[in-house]
Every structure is written in C-alpha cells, then in structure tokens.
Structure 1
Amino acid sequence: MEKIGVYGSGVIGACEATLCIGNGFETVVVGHSAPGLERCRAAIGKNWDDLIAQGLATQRNKEAAMELLTLTDDPAALAGRTFIFEAVAEDLTVKQSVYAAVEAVCGADTILASCTSSLTAAALAALVERPERLVIAHPFQPAHMLPLVELVPSERTEPAVLDRAKTLLEGRLDRQVVLLRRDVPGLLVNRLAQAMFRESLYLIEQGVATAEDIDKAVKWAVGKRYASIGLLEYFDEVGFQLERDIAANVYPSLCDTKDIQGIVTAGLESGKTGVAAGQGLYDWSKKDVAEFRMRKQAPYFTDLNWNLPE
C-alpha cells in the first residue's frame, strides 16, 4: 500500500486527506502554520460529520480515520512517504520551495502528484530534481466527494509512475480518472468551465439573462442532460449536419474576448468577490451557505464507496 502525504492544509489538502484516511491510509499533512493546521483538522472533521449526517459513515469510522491522520508543519515528517499530493498555491515559486522540501526528505521512488488546476506539467517538471516522478493529479471540489481526477504526465514522466498513480486513484481511492494525452493550460474540465463562465458573464453584461436564470438553465438542462449522457454523445445524436447549422448561426455571436471581463474587474475593485465576501454575482447574505454546502455535495453521496476504517 502507498504511504501517503499531503503538502498543503487548505481546502484541497483537507479534502485529499479526508479521502485518504477514509480509505484506510495513514496520511501525513504538512502545513505552514498552527492556525492553518487547526483549520485543516476542523475541515476534515466537518467533512466526516457531513457523511455521518447522511448515514454514510459512523462516529466510529470518523474516530478510526482521524487516528490515521498526522498534521504537522515539519516537512521531515514526509520521510518514508511514497505518494505525495501537493496542494499549495498556484504559484511556481511557492511550488518550487515545496518540491525542494519534499525531495530533501523523500526517497527516489516517491511520486509527487500536483493538484494544480491551471499550471502545466512541463512547467512543474522544470522545478524538480526528479521530473520523471512528477504528475498532475487534479481533483475537483469537494475533492473527497467528486470522483473525477485529471491525470497529466509531462514528457519526462516515467510510464511506471503514471501507472502507479492511476492504480492508486482508480483502485483503493475509487476515483474516475481521465488521462490527458497532451499538456495544456487549464487541463480539460477547467477549459470547458472557463468557456461557459466567459459566455455566462457576457450574457449578464449584455442584459440577456440574470445569474439566477443562467444557473437555472444549467441545472435543469445542461447539467441533467450531460450527467446521464456525454457531451459528445449528444453531439453525435444530434448529428453533424444540424450541429453545423446551429454553429453557423451561433458562433458569430459567441463571446470571444481574451480579456478579463468587466463584471469581474468591477467586483474586484468593489470587494464584491464571491461567497467569502458575502456578495458576488449573488447576494450571499440572502442565501443559506450551509444549505449550499450540502447541495454541492449531494450528487456524490450515492457514489461513495470507501474502504472505511473501523
């Protein structure tokens, strides 16, 4: 069994740790501050409380899982770890510092799996002494619940390393893995998401629809349709001729800006930056954030198939 470490005690790190201890792995989480590590422990505990509330785990499962968890600010605790998820800021300087700390204490067989959502494997491979041991394993929030992981090698990643990463993710961690054949910024899902975000913000700015109506359209048409059949399965069902005719009518009016849109820059200037600020595209003071948290996880509760510790 792989010996797992997580470098990073933020939201992604806490969720990766929840997933790993929830499947019986002794897991070491490295953070940078005592308050950050305490927030991480609390977040992991809350993740377990959500599962218990849904009848998907017991208090004993939680207690047994938490016994598998080590939280520390000392990278030396990663010595002997064979598979490390890196979940720190999207900053090459920060990541290089983390990689140096990992490589200083870990063996040559240790796999370093970055959770980056936008940096390329080539850029990350340039930061390490052993690029053949590095892959991207990009999860999606909430990372312990949403089963998809994008696995991306660099040109220097050893095939055996890729196989080991895929075996861990698809095996005991029960993830759905998509393997990218080529390194691209934003990987796969975030490229699709950014196209939808860009068009959605454009439609709001053009006065075509509100955020509420766009979300309603996505939840009740786009989301439900592509949850049961694939996007490109649907394309094939419609057929190339009709899709060509639709594209000819729609493509000319689609948003194609290469700049950050005004609705975002205005929000940054005013401090209305999203949920944490209480205001973004929505007024979150009028929404139930706890209900939103559960709604965000709800589609994945039925897919939970962990090797729960007893």
Structure 2
Amino acid sequence: MIKNIAVLGGGTMGHGIAESFALHGYNVNIYEYDEKIRMHIIEAIESELTFMHEQSYIELEEISATLNRIKVFDIMKDAAVDADYIIEAVAENIDLKCKIFKELDSYCKAEAIFATNTSSLSLKNMLPAVSVKRQERMMVCHWYNPAHLMPIAELSNFGNMPASIYKEVEQLYLNIDKHVVTILKDVPGLVANRIQQAVAREVFSLMENEVASPEDIDKALKFGPAFRYATTGQLEVADMGGLDIWCIVGDNLLKDMDNSKEANPILRKKVEEGKLGMKSGEGFFKYSEQMRTQLKNDFNKRLITQLKTSKKYI
C-alpha cells in the first residue's frame, strides 16, 4: 500500500506534484540539489495553497496541514530510501534520469514503485538502469503544468508492470482527484501532448500565413473548439455533430492544413531572438513584470473555476 511519497526535483513541476499529494493526506519528501530552488520550495507551495484558499477552493486549515506533511531534503537517499512511491521530475535528460533510477535501485526497498514525469523520453530507454525485478515496478506518470491544478495524470501501462501494481498506482492518483489516462503504447508525447502539438501546429501555421491576427487566432480557439473541449472530448464532439459531417469536412480541409514534421519557422525565429514568451517578457505578445503576475493569477483562477465546475458536472 502506498503511504509515503518521494518527489525528486522541487522546481516548477516537482513542487506542484508534491503539493498535490500532501494536500490529499500523503506524507511527501522532496529532494532538490539546487540550494536556490530548495530554499524557496515551501514558500512557493504555501503561496499556491493560500491562493487556492482565497479562491474558496480549500479551507484555511488545509494550508498548515498540507505544509506539515512535506519535508525537503538535500540528499536524495534521505528523501527516497523509505518511500513507497518515488517520482522524478528533473530535467528532460535521459542520462540524468537513468543515473537517478540506478542509484535509487541500489537502496530503495524492493516494493517501492519508481515513476518518471516525462512525455518526451521513452520508458524502454530507462528500464535497463534498474534490475529486472524493479522493471516490473517502474512507469511513466506524466503530469500537466500547473501540477497542483491540472486534473490529468497519464499513466503508462506498457506491459512491463503486473496489473495489480498498475491498479495500485491508478488508485493513488484517483485518491488525489486526478483523471487518469491509461497509456497503452510507449509513443513520444503520450496522448495529451500529441493532441496539443497538433493544435499548436495549425495555430502557428495560421499566424505564419497571416490568416488572422494572433489575438483573433487565440480568440477563435478559446471561444470555438476549446470552449467545448473544456467539458467534452473530441470523439464525443464528433458523435454529436455526426460522423458523416466530420468525414466530409476532413476530406475538404485536411489536404490544405499544415502537415510539417518540425517546429514552425515563426516559432523558431522567436526563440532565436530570445522572445520566449512570458518568462522573457515577450513572445507572440508583450508582458510587463506586473502584467505577468496578474495574467498568471487570472489563469489559475480560471483553472480553479473549471475544477469546481468539473467536480459537479464532469
């Protein structure tokens, strides 16, 4: 039975993953090697919990209770040695991840389950880092950012893991109110990111071809397809609209749509210019420091509103 959690990496994803487990009653150890990040992990989590309380999503007493369940470590072994479930959320570097799993396998208890929070690196390339027996207890558990608010978890079920162990991890995620997506094949991007990239490819193409302004392209997505997608999946939408109609429209449109195999040139040019989006102050739009904080808060408010609604209707 999974009781104690270890999260390796306390950055953007790691601290949010730890926060989610702790909020739902689990004891969580966080390992972070970078002192600058490590010193601000609890502060970041407390700020996010306070924001959720201000939005009437959690009770005031849940803030201190959640924080009391979290411990931060600067030595990986101390954080992970007694954990039942260990998830790494470090940089997307296969060598680094393999090194971490090899070390963990040398001292973690035999029944501990290892997980990687990745959608771009293959599990099959990480499995050789651990013993054959441990390979039965190793999987991908991919979260979406911000981890403490996005209610999806993609869990790998590629055949290396007995059904009973998979069910144990699945139940863990159901216990923290995540909607579990079971991934049956080890493909790059899993499911959610592949869908997202398909949408992004056409959005960037529309902008490159000056079909509409960036503002209107985003507006078309937000108040068109995405308005439905907040509550309804693509296959449900197709069934409601009529598969015959979807087939005809597909035949008419797909031949003219972007089918490129690499990132859009307009996106690459922005990166080369150092215009990386909100974190650099400019991407497709410009952001002042004050504006960035407000936009992030507004974004998180919308996510919390959707979470409240989804608990009632989805």
> Counterparts in 2 of 1:25-174, with a 5 A limit?
25-77=26-78, 78-129=80-131, 130-171=134-175, 173-174=176-177
Specify the SS of the correspondent of 1:276.
Answer: coil
Structure 2: runs of 5 or more not aligned: 310-314
**Aligned sequence identity (%):** 27
The answer for unaligned runs of 5 or more in structure 1 is: 306-310
The residue matched to 2:155 in structure 1 has which SS?
strand
SS at 2:244's partner residue?
Answer: helix
Q: Which amino acid aligns with 2:165?
A: V
Higher RCO (CA < 8 A, seq sep 6+): 1
CA offsets per residue over residues 194-243 of structure 1, 9 Å max, x none?
01111111111111122211111111111211223221111122222221
Task: Kindly indicate whether the alpha-carbon contact (under 8 Å) linking 1:29 and 1:70 is maintained by their aligned counterparts in 2.
Answer: yes
Who is 1:235 aligned against?
238
Q: 1:85-129 deviations in whole A, cap 9, x for unaligned?
A: 211111101101211232222111111121112222222323322
Alignment of 1:167-186 (within 5 A): 167-171=171-175, 173-186=176-189
1:298 aligns with 2:301: yes
Contact kept, 8 Å, 2:158 with 2:184, in 1: the verdict is no
CA contact (8 A) 2:281 2:289 kept: no
Going from structure 1 to structure 2, the CA distance change for 1:213 and 1:128 (only over 3 Å counts) comes to: farther
Residue 202 (structure 2) pairs with residue 205 (structure 1):
no
TM-score, length of structure 1 as denominator length:
0.92
What is the CA–CA distance in structure 2 between the aligned matches of 1:193 and 1:57, rounded to whole Å? 30
**Other-structure match for 2:23:** 22
The alignment covers a number of residue pairs equal to 304
Runs of 4+ in 1 over 6 A off after TM superposition: none
Counterpart residue identity of residue 48, structure 1: L
Please report the TM-score for the alignment, with normalisation by the length of structure 2: 0.91
Instruction: State the shift of 1:259 in Å.
Output: 2.3
RMSD over aligned CA atoms reads 1.8
Structure 2 SS opposite 1:150:
strand
User: 8 Å contact 2:158–2:183 — kept in the other structure?
Assistant: no
Compared CA separation, residues 269 and 256, structure 1 to 2 (3 A)? same
1:299 is displaced (CA, Å) by 4.0
CA offset at residue 287 of structure 1? 7.5
Query: Is 2:223 aligned against 1:220?
Result: yes
Query: For the Cα contact (< 8 Å) 1:86–1:113, is it kept in 2?
Result: yes
